[in-house]
Amino acid sequence: MSKTLKTLFLVHAVVGVIFGLPMLIAPGRFLTALGWAPIDPIVSRLLGAALLAVAWSSYRGSQADDRARVGILVEMEAAYCVLGCVGMLRHLLFSTYPFLPCLVFAILALFAVAWIAVLLGWGK
């Protein structure tokens, strides 16, 4: 596995933990402090769990050396980031949101581009 891909997996894992852990433990306090409220605590905690699960798979991907396993993880990471962007884009285009949702969209979009670049074989 290339050093670039290993680094991408680790950065994705760290970002997932940074957003996922507070979403799982205290979503109301975390999102209110960032100016994103009101929230649904159940859905927010489920999102936190999903972010932590994806972070764990990213960490595992950084440790893997089996080409097939890494390929499946890259596909999953790309699908997660692209679908997240699609889901958020509809809201961001037609409503006014605080800075945080725009930042989350930008982060997802950057990761989506990076994962797609890996799938297309760039940065080997």
Domain residues for the domain of 66 are 3-119
| Domain-located, residue 124 | no
Helix 67-94, helix 3-25: angle, nearest 10: 50
pTM as predicted: 0.85
pLDDT digit of tens for each residue in the chain (124 aa)? 788 899 999 999 999 999 999 999 999 999 888 877 778 999 999 999 999 999 999 999 999 888 888 999 999 999 999 999 999 988 888 877 777 788 889 999 999 999 999 999 875 5
Helix 67-94, helix 41-63: angle, nearest 10: 150
| Domain-located, residue 100 | yes
The total number of structural domains that make up the chain: 1
Contacts with 29 (C-beta within 8 Å, 6 or more apart), sequence order: 22
